[in-house]
Chain A
């Protein structure tokens, strides 16, 4: 009895432990990524993190003069041509100055007219005095007085004319000042950001240089600023081919055209979107251009960039192999 039972239980135990070991041995497979991540397309590729920007950089529009904003003429996303008004500032003061100057001009024009009449009158007087002097009707003294009266009238006319010129110049200045209150697009482009509202005060210099209130850029042709870690900077050569993927994605590669390498190695910011971006390292910036592809790409978007490297470097006779 004990014999049977013990052997039976022992066999059962061994079966149980075998089952347990087999069950625990079952490996858990790692799940595949939800979206396949971007991968290096070249045999020797240099990874970089890029940010999309408008071609030739974005223009931060600032007012010419400080003043209250009376009208914003554009919306975000508007396409503007060179010279189109972007926003207007309060122009009542400037307009009243123009009216004032116009009145001044009109006044001086009347004075010039008046002086001209006087000069004609004095010329006439002098001609008559000359005639009477030759007939010995009047004394030379009287004729000389007439002459000087004409001279005086002519100089008055000259100074009044000069005043008129000055008033006209001031009118032009007032008109320019009025025109300055309308800020115009310096070139063709798209409005990327409008943070002005009518009634707000535009100060000079702008309150936050890094976050301009009005941003103009080109979104039809975009360019990509690729940050290459300074360690890999020496592997980048001008004209290197490159491919970009929207951050983290593997599908829809965007071919890039080399534009230039920024000659100054600058500090990289870790683009976390945090209000205080942290300095990460120094990076070489390489500029690439690309066209809008099937996938929409927006200015300010981050991209994974792969730049073709120069391939394995030859062994240097004296030094170690460059990695």
Chain B
């Protein structure tokens, strides 16, 4: 019986293609837009992922990593005095203006790593040595920066100099860093030098990076540090989500992406539901014949669901496949943002299943009303 159902489905090529295309488009729209949304949200947390410390200590009022109120430098020693702290080092993060030899400028994300230990150093040095950061005026620039400068006609390599706030910076190494939300290249230097580059303020230190003692839970330690007046500590994942939550709450990004995903759902339901309904209507005679031959309702229902889920499976597969092609292409050039956690295809699969169930239900309603006598009409 189920074989008959599949034969029925594949025989009507036009409707099959129509159904598959509708669901493919629907799942493509949803996965691609959700992935771009996730990618964009991921970009906002680039600093957290690039530095990678387990516990971050900020001023008590800081809500996310991209908006930082500077701290007094002595807070490092205060944090070191908290029980459970293995070590604590200062970090400078700030957006500074880099001026190139031809006079054009580029905003850069300046990261000042603790001078002795380089805690938070770039994960991947593509050229040069991290140790050279100890040389005078030395900075390390990421690939995004190299690409951005190349567009302005300047090739950045080891030895290239540019200015940050009128002070000379010399590139000693290139690295790969996660791209930031606004696309400013990451420029790494030592903490002391970062203070020289940065515009002087009364307080300069952006945050304190903390490693918990072995056996101490990072989240628990963060709570202990937060108990100190004026300080607030985040566990890495908490900071990651706090930053994303901040962007979801304070920007229109989720609404615009949410609308597109909703449109995908509506288009899916409309096309798939309608086409499937027409498909059932077309095949009503055969179904009536089967009914007349004594096929019970559960068997007919199984047939209709099989047809609907087959279409759903193929549509979903093609949709996510197309998104994957898009994803692989985009990941290579790192723009536009793209990130696909497993939840995205799972969520889309659930939506597709719901659409299939809905379509099958419409079809079944027709079959339920069906008189076997229809076959003779």
Residues of A within 8 A of B (CB): 2-3, 6-7, 9-14, 16-17, 19-21, 24-25, 28-31, 33-40, 43-49, 227-229, 231-232, 235, 246-250, 268, 270, 272-274, 278, 280-281, 283, 304, 306, 309, 323
Contact = CB atoms under 8 A, between A and B. Distances in A.
B227 A9 contact: no
B117 interface: yes
Contacts of B74: 49, 227, 229, 268, 270, 280-281, 283
B60 to A, nearest CB: 14
Nearest to A268: B74
Interface residues of B, number: 71
B376 interface: no
5 shortest interchain CB distances as A-B pairs: A13-B321, A248-B116, A10-B317, A30-B52, A47-B80
A7 B10 CA distance: 11
A14 B321 contact: yes
B72 A21 contact: no
Interface string B146-185: 0000000000000000000000000000000010000000
Interface string B189-233: 000100110001010100000010100000000000001110000
Contacts of B317: 9-14
Interface string B126-149: 000011000000000000000000
Contacts of B302: none
B108 interface: no
Nearest to B130: A34
Count chain B CB atoms within 10 A of each CB in A17, A44, A323 and give the residue with the most: A17
B76 interface: yes
Contacts of A246: 116
B327 interface: yes
B77 interface: yes
B368 interface: no
B253 interface: no
Contacts of B123: 28-31
Contacts of A228: 77
B86 A39 contact: yes
Contacts of A247: 115-116
19 contacts: A2-B13, A10-B313, A14-B317, A16-B324, A24-B339, A28-B49, A29-B123, A33-B117, A33-B121, A35-B118, A37-B116, A47-B81, A228-B77, A231-B228, A248-B115, A278-B200, A280-B74, A281-B72, A281-B74
Contacts of B202: 278
Nearest to B310: A7
Contacts of B204: 270, 272
A39 B321 contact: no
Nearest to B74: A229
A21 B77 contact: no
Contacts of B78: 47, 229, 231-232
Contacts of B8: none
A20 B327 contact: yes
Contacts of B122: 31
Contact of A37 (B87, B325, B340, B344): B87
B356 interface: no
A280 B204 CA distance: 10
Nearest to B87: A37
B87 A36 contact: yes
B320 interface: yes
B155 to A, nearest CB: 27
Contacts of B51: 30
Count chain A CB atoms within 10 A of each CB in B53, B81, B319 and give the residue with the most: B81
A309 B83 CA distance: 11
A149 to B, nearest CB: 88
A16 B325 contact: yes
A306 B80 contact: yes
Interface in B301-335: 313-325, 327-328
B66 to A, nearest CB: 19
Contacts of B131: 34
Contact of A40 (B85, B115, B195): B85
A310 to B, nearest CB: 12
Contact of B114 (A19, A248, A281, A283): A248
Contacts of A2: 10, 13, 16-17
A43 B78 CA distance: 15
Contacts of B272: none
Contacts of B76: 47, 49
Contacts of B196: 274
A306 B120 CA distance: 23
A29 B123 CA distance: 8
B314 A7 contact: yes
A10 B314 contact: yes
Contacts of B345: 17, 21
Nearest to B346: A21
A40 B80 contact: yes
A13 B80 contact: no
Nearest to A12: B321
A11 B324 CA distance: 13
Count chain B CB atoms within 10 A of each CB in A24, A232, A281 and give the residue with the most: A24
